[in-house]
Chain A
């Protein structure tokens, strides 16, 4: 999806690195490769690609990710 990007700096995605246990599930479920594992921790490598689908939030075992898309 390099050719199709939506607005920058709008996503409500927040990653709490302290809570991250490095399971890597967020990198598996994200449909836009927003996360990448670096040094056993998830990192936001493409924040602006986030579409707030919430797959990472639903699957994070330690509630380290939050997204609050509001009414849309």
Chain B
């Protein structure tokens, strides 16, 4: 690299200063690639262009380490990141939303800086980096196949093996002169601190559950307060999950809607188009009400609905929301049987989807879910069959 003395005009670049002791100059071992880089000049990124490769938009610049250039990422999210977050939250392309695993940097880390471990789901990566403005650290991204830390830890991709592999492959011992990595607490399900130490000599320090607490955690001498150790499930946290809940059942819901339309044509005599439209329409409305009650209302109002059983919460939410299709049913349905069929249909769907939501919450135990399913799936099935029977009966 050029000697900085030649570039007196650019001397504002802080990383090019020599530390001199008794006439011996010690260069910072982690100098930036080029003197111009300190001013986020795009030209120096151009020096790293390779045919067929594109630098990711979240890379600010590159720094040189003993092991080659390491991308320094931005702490602020760009428009692209925010739009993509929105799409992914809606369930669009969320299974292919990844960053490359490996070593990254944020700020101006040196050999004493901490190493923060995370997953390669871009949503996770973004949530971490936006909390790191002004912090100098290394970020070690594990290959979790685009899954968040907790789910990946449960599925075994955020694991002891993967962490040890990344520590070894990236020669972390040559990047930092300490032997510790900060692993998000929720990664503990898949990571054994003892085994990591045994296999890599690096000590695992469990960081806070939420990236938003990292700053406080680092300030607090890497000690997490009790509230940093506990998961939450606030109304906002529940709300943000609902689009994906609805999106994942969209396909079966559309198929059901088609079946309902065909079913509605059954009546005395021949297949009646007007009847199909009227009765079909109102039964689809009942389907939509059930989905809305189970996948949205139950999730958002979770702590306010009585009972701890999700299936029962869904029945309660469904019973209220089911009044909507019933109000619209007057012209299409004659007799109590039709109303009852619609009501049972909405409530059953709501109950089932509410129970399904246990998979997305951070506090339900698999043993509890199993108990609940054994109890409520027969009830839901019986209710669905009854609803079907009443619906057919009401047509004649």
Q: Interface of A with B (CB < 8 Å)?
A: 1, 3-8, 10-12, 25, 28-33, 49-55, 58-59, 61, 69-72
Contact = CB atoms under 8 A, between A and B. Distances in A.
A28 B367 contact: no
Contacts of A11: 365, 367-368
Given A6-B308, A7-B309, A58-B190, A31 B230 contact: yes
Given A6-B368, A59-B194, 14 more contacts: A11-B365, A28-B188, A32-B230, A33-B229, A33-B230, A49-B363, A51-B365, A53-B154, A54-B154, A54-B189, A55-B153, A55-B185, A58-B190, A69-B366
Interface of B: 150, 153-154, 185-186, 188-194, 206, 209, 224, 226, 229-233, 302-303, 308-309, 361-372
A72 B192 CA distance: 23
A59 B192 contact: yes
Chain B facing A: main interface SS: helix
Nearest to A12: B367
Given A4-B233, A33-B229, A59-B192, A70 B366 contact: yes
Contacts of A28: 185, 188, 206, 224, 229
Given A31-B185, A58-B188, A59-B193, A71 B233 contact: no
Contact of B189 (A6, A58, A61): A58
Contacts of A33: 226, 229-230
Contacts of A58: 188-192
A8 B309 CA distance: 11
A31 B184 CA distance: 11
Given A59-B188, A72-B370, A4 B365 contact: no
B188 A55 contact: yes
B27 to A, nearest CB: 40
B182 to A, nearest CB: 12
29 contacts: A1-B231, A4-B233, A4-B303, A5-B363, A6-B363, A7-B309, A7-B365, A10-B367, A10-B371, A11-B365, A11-B367, A11-B368, A12-B367, A28-B206, A28-B229, A29-B188, A29-B206, A31-B186, A33-B229, A49-B363, A51-B364, A52-B367, A54-B154, A58-B192, A59-B188, A59-B192, A59-B193, A69-B366, A72-B366
A11 B309 CA distance: 15
A22 B366 CA distance: 28
B185 A69 contact: no
A4 B363 contact: yes
Contact of B231 (A5, A32, A69, A70): A32
A68 B182 CA distance: 28
B365 A6 contact: yes
Contacts of B230: 1, 31-33
In the A-B complex, the 10 residue pairs with the smallest Cβ-Cβ separation, listed nearest first, are A72-B366, A29-B188, A55-B188, A69-B366, A7-B368, A10-B368, A3-B303, A31-B231, A52-B365, A55-B189
A2 B316 CA distance: 22
Most chain A C-beta atoms within 10 Å of own C-beta, residue among B190, B192, B233? B192
Contacts of B364: 6, 51
Contacts of B370: 70-72
A25 B369 CA distance: 27
A52 B363 CA distance: 9
A15 to B, nearest CB: 16
A72 B191 contact: no
A6 B362 CA distance: 10
A11 B186 CA distance: 19
A32 B361 CA distance: 13
Contacts of B233: 1, 4
Contacts of B186: 31, 55
A64 B309 CA distance: 31
B120 to A, nearest CB: 21
A69 B371 CA distance: 11
A69 B364 CA distance: 11
A51 B150 CA distance: 13
